[in-house]
Amino acid sequence: MRASTAVEDYLKGVFALAVAGGVSTSAIASALDVQPASASSMIRRLRDAGLVDWEPGGHIELTDDGWRAALDIVRRHRLVETFLHQVVGLELWEIHDEAERMEHAVSERLVERIDEMLGHPEVDPHGHPIPAPGAERYVEPDLVALSAVDVGVRAVVERVSDHDTPALAHLVQLGLRPGAEVEVIERAAFGGPTWVEVDGARHALGDQLLGSVRCRLSASLDEQRNV
C-alpha cells in the first residue's frame, strides 16, 4: 500500500537533502515548513516503517526501501510536471505546485500511461532527471551554478530551481530556461549584480537568481561531443 501524503512528502524532503548532502532534523523541518518537533516525530515514524536509519541523536539516512520509495515519488512528481507542461500547456512556473499535490493522487497505471505518452522522457521541464521505474539509486548530474561561472564563459542552462514560483517566472521571462545558451558578461564588485547575455539581450541578476540556475559549460559540452 502507498504511504500517506505526509509520509510521502517527508520522504521526498529527506531524499532531496540526502542528494544535496546534508540531512538534519531542522533542514527537514524547514523544507517541509513544519516545526522541528514535528519533523523529529515523523523521522521516528519513518524509521519504524523501515524507510530511514536513525537513532535518537544520530544522523539520518535513507534505507534501501527508503530510496526506492522516494525515487518512486520523485518519478511521479517529475512525470506529472512534464505532462502538465508538454501536454496540458501549463507554464514552467505553474507545474511544480500542481504536481506537488497530484503526485499523491495518480495511480501507477496513470503514471506509466503518461510516461508512454511523453515518449519516456529523461528529464523534466526544469531539467531534473526522471528516475526510471523501480530505480534504486540516483545520480546527480555534474552541473555548475551560474553564480560560479567565470566572466566571459558561455554555458548551456540545464536546470532551473522549481521551488520559488515568482523567481522562476522571472527567469523564464528572461529566456533563462533549460536549453538556453548564456554568457557571463560582467560581475560587479562588492556583491553587485552580474550581467549575463541570453538570446542577445543582457540582464542584471542577483545572487539568489544566479544560484537557482545550473549549467553545463560550453567547453565541457564540446568535450562531450568529441568523445
Pick from 20, 24, 141, 150: which binds DNA (CB under 7 A)? 24
Rounded to 5°, the CA angle 159-137-90 comes to 35
Q: Cα separation of 103 and 90, whole Å?
A: 16
CA pseudo-torsion sign 141, 120, 161, 65:
negative
User: For residue 215, which phi and psi values (nearest 5 degrees)?
Assistant: -130, 165
- How many other C-beta atoms can be found within 10 angstroms of the C-beta atom of residue 30? 14
Under the binding rule (CB under 7 A), the answer on residue 17 touching DNA is no
Q: Which of its own copies, DNA, none does residue 38 bind to, with CB < 5 to 8 Å depending on kind?
A: DNA
The stretch near DNA (CB under 7 A) out of 32-40, 96-104, 143-151, 211-219 is 32-40
Q: Which of its own copies, DNA, none does residue 42 bind to, with CB < 5 to 8 Å depending on kind?
A: DNA
As measured in angstroms, the least distance from the Cβ of 103 to its own copies is: 8
One character per residue 75-104, x = contact with its own copies (rule: CB under 8 A): ---------x--xxxx---x--xx--xx-x
Element (H, E) at 81: helix 64-86
CA pseudo-torsion sign 64, 30, 164, 77:
positive
Q: Which of DNA, its own copies, none does residue 41 bind to, with CB < 5 to 8 Å depending on kind?
A: DNA
Which residues ranging from 43 to 102 are in contact with DNA (CB under 7 A)? 43-45, 54, 56-58
Q: CB-wise, 37 or 204, nearer to DNA? A: 37
- How many other C-beta atoms can be found within 10 angstroms of the C-beta atom of residue 85? 19
Pick from 105, 151, 188, 219: which binds its own copies (CB under 8 A)? 105
In 3D space, the residue among 105, 103, 82, 80 whose CA is nearest the CA of residue 92 turns out to be 82
Q: Cα separation of 75 and 69, whole Å?
A: 10
Residues near its own copies (CB under 8 A) are 84, 87-90, 94, 97-98, 101-102, 104-107, 109-110, 113-114, 117
> Under the rule (CB under 7 A), what is the footprint of DNA?
4-7, 10, 24-27, 32, 34-38, 40-45, 54, 56-58
